[in-house]
Amino acid sequence: MASKQQIKNLKFIFEPKSIALVGASPTPNKVSNVIFKSLTEGNFQGEFYPVNPKYQEITGIKCYPSISSIKKKIDCLMIATPAQTVPMILQECARLKIKGVVLVTAGFSEAGEEGTKLERQIKEICDENEIALIGPNCLGTLNPSTGADSIFLPMHKLERPKPGNIAFITQSGAVGSTIIDVAAYHGIGISKFISYGNATVLDEVDLLEYLEKDNKTKTIVVYIEGARRGREFFEAMKRINKKKPIIALKAGKFSRSAAAAKSHTGNIAGSYLAYNAAFRQAKVIEAEGLEDLFDFMKIFSQPLAKGKRVGIITNGGGMGVLTADAVDQMGLEFAEFSAEAKVKLKTILPSFGNVANPLDLIAEADGEKYEKGIEIMMDDPAIDALFIITLFQTPPMDERVLNVLIKASDDHRKPIACIMLGGAYTTNYQRYLDKYKVPSYNSPIAAVKAMKKFIEYSRFREPKR
């Protein structure tokens, strides 16, 4: 638990005008070299001061023998030196009034008694001096819009996402690394990424409070094994989820996996039953696994759904059937198209086609048919949300369909979920749509599950609609 001021001081970590890196190294693949490279080769625009008495310069950038020798204001200090050196460094921090620290080093309370003692010292120094410290034993932090990047995995192996409005807080560095890597690959923009490790100074609750007030953050994704302050954690989630959707993945659900969780973070994973009950009470959107996490976050930047009556449009019968199965199974409703919509839809179907939901445009459909069909369904007040299935494999489905899908996504009258599945050709189109934030899924079940979660959340946020 940190003070209000410490929480505020997180701004020095995410929006630093200057960063110093203690232990900066020219040795490839060393943690402190990876961070050095991210800060010098990424998009960080502020002042950067590498610190290491062993070097005069690293790849042409002046290197300082100590923090105090920098003689400039330092907003954020990144530390990647061995555990036993850390208390001394933090005392220097305190003297120099550095208020933001990211400490990625491991070997603290998760490593035994000696480390526990060091960790206690760290906490004392930070609390006395209002230092906001993330870590230790963490992967680091990232703000893509400022380039403040302390993630110690190399950029060529772990892509950095572009700026956006989804924030991630993760108790596991490993899981965190996959989350940002996948987010970057799928064009999902993020506001803040925080792997908080042992949560010695700032814990889950503090971070949630920070994100609650962060204007750049619209959706919050949480990976948690065990919260330090259970009650406060749930209260914060309950309060914040009313304003910004929280998607949560609880790991260490069972006795065996909880033991595994304990061994890697030193944390006791909380009882899953308690978490599950609390999530349900707070209407937090629970993900069963990583796939849910990605599937859900894609859909939440859309306008809230007014109800649960869904329409399905497809150019492949079987894909429509599979989507209908998922809609049935998950308890969404099939929209009964309005009379007006039916008349209009009839005109885009082949002579023997019936206006039904799912609407099957059959394999002869092209971009124009999709455009008309989607427009009619967007206009129809009897439809609350739309599943758009596109088999790009058919000859008439050329690039023009992409613009139709982007238009549907930009329409912002109803939430949509696109479903497409295939090899290189289709995947290439899907990556293109990612760039325009069109929510697309490789499977009917995944799309319907995500939409159901979003419709439930919409009802929670606007019960009267």
For a copy of itself, the binding residues in 39-78 under the rule CB under 8 A are none
Distance separating alpha carbons of residues 386 and 163, to the nearest angstrom: 27
331 is an interface residue for a copy of itself by CB under 8 A? no
Query: What is the footprint of a copy of itself within residues 85-124 (CB under 8 A)?
Result: 111-112
* Residue (235 or 336) nearer to a copy of itself, CB: 336
The residue from 1, 158, 268, 304 that contacts a copy of itself (CB under 8 A) is 158
What mask, x for binding a copy of itself by CB under 8 A, covers residues 281 to 320? -------xxxx----------------------xxxxxxx
Could you identify the residue written with the tokens 């009556």?
309
223 near a copy of itself, judged by CB under 8 A: yes
CB of 417 to a copy of itself, least distance (A): 15
Strand partners, 441: 419
CB of 425 to a copy of itself, least distance (A): 5
The answer to the question of residue 154 lying near a copy of itself (CB under 8 A) is: yes
Smallest gap from residue 238 Cβ to a copy of itself (A): 24
Sign of CA dihedral 424, 387, 166, 404: positive
Within 10 angstroms of residue 393's Cβ, the number of other Cβ atoms is: 15
Count of residues in the chain: 465
Q: Which amino acid is at 245?
A: P
Q: For residue 236, state whether it binds a copy of itself (rule: CB under 8 A).
A: no
- Cβ atoms of 409 and 441 closer than 8 Å: no
CB of 53 or CB of 331, closer to a copy of itself: 331
Q: Which stretch binds a copy of itself (CB under 8 A): 58-66, 93-101, 155-163, 240-248?
A: 155-163
Q: At what angle do helices 290-299 and 444-461 cross, to 10 degrees?
A: 60
The count of residues interacting with a copy of itself (CB under 8 A) is 84
Per rule CB under 8 A, is residue 368 in the interface with a copy of itself? Answer: no
385-444 residues near a copy of itself, rule: CB under 8 A? 391-397, 421-427, 442-444
Residues 6+ apart with CB under 8 A from 434: 186, 187, 188, 440
Residue spans of beta strands (DSSP E) within 80-218: 100-103, 132-134, 140-143, 148-149, 163-170, 190-195
Spatial neighbors of 444 by CB under 8 A, at least 6 apart, are 319, 322, 323, 325, 326, 387, 389, 419
Q: Does 363 bind a copy of itself (CB under 8 A)?
A: yes
Identify which range of 38-46, 93-101, 177-185, 408-416 contacts a copy of itself by CB under 8 A. 177-185
